[in-house]
Amino acid sequence: MTDGSNDEELIRGAARRLVAARRLVAFTGAGVSKESGIATFRDADDGLWTRYDAMDMATREGYLRDPEYVWGWYEHRFGLVADAAPNPGHLALAAMERLVPELVVVTQNIDGLHARAGSTDVVELHGSIARFRCLSGQHAERSPDGRPVLYTREELAGLPDPTARPPRCPHCGGLIRPDVVWFGELLDEAVIDRAFDLARACDAMLVAGTSGVVQPAASLPILARRAGAFIVDVNPEEDEVAALADVFLRGPSGDVLPRLLAAMEEEAAQSGLPI
């Protein structure tokens, strides 16, 4: 692993490898969204681990025990997300698609900021706080791919009792829940399988803002490494991924990713590639 933050030659070397990739996976975690003002669960100083008891807020059992309270917390959380804007890190990743058309963002974040920044192919490992589904999932109506019917916030307003908190499923009367992965739940099989396939097939992986400890997502850099991919890790501090990475770029993603993008654009221009 090569470690650097202000070493422009190191950034340029990483950019050269990334812009040459045919298939690039950008694997992102909560650290990327933190720079948009969205607190992380694991932040040592101001993360949600210290503000709330996450085992009450993000489990099926906690929701069933006090659904109105937990729904209110998610409403508050959604308000924070709605007020947030994509930061320079999100925007840089979206702009990289001009240089590497087969770029897929695989994220642990549930805030939708990558799509709002302009990324066109985003795999949301842990779901989305802007989607909702029936807690039971047992009613007959299902989407064509066999997954539970999903609702947007706008569609919730059209339910028979839009003032109910939490809302009730129009098919079975059960509780509506956020379409996110709670603690103790498995990831959607199709979603994680696609992420694994992308990791095995990529030429390069750019990791940003993830601690690399939450499974099964933490396996993605390992799979990419085994497949021979070039790995760049961007984080303020060394993490589990840094040990696997070819290059570790120390610093906030909102600072490092725009610099990496600029270097990639320079490399592309020198190579005669469209930018």
pLDDT digits (tens, 9 = 90+) for 54-69: 667 788 998 999 899 8
Fold of the domain spanning 39-83+131-180: SIR2/SIRT2 'Small Domain' (3.30.1600)
Residue carrying structure tokens 């601690």: 211
Phi, psi of 264 (to 5 degrees): -65, -40
Q: What is the pLDDT of residue 275?
A: 58
Does the predicted model carry a pTM greater than 0.85? yes
Q: Domain boundaries in the chain? A: 1-38+86-126+187-275, 39-83+131-180
CATH number attached to the domain at 1-38+86-126+187-275: 3.40.50.1220
Q: If residue 152 lies in a helix (H) or strand (E), which one and from where to where?
A: strand 151-152
Pick out the chain residues at pLDDT < 70.
1-6, 40-52, 54-55, 137-148, 272-275
Q: What is the pLDDT of residue 139?
A: 54
CA angle 18, 21, 27 (to 5 degrees): 65
- State the catalytic residues: 126
CA angle 115, 132, 109 (to 5 degrees): 40
Intrachain domains 1-38+86-126+187-275 and 39-83+131-180 with the same fold: no
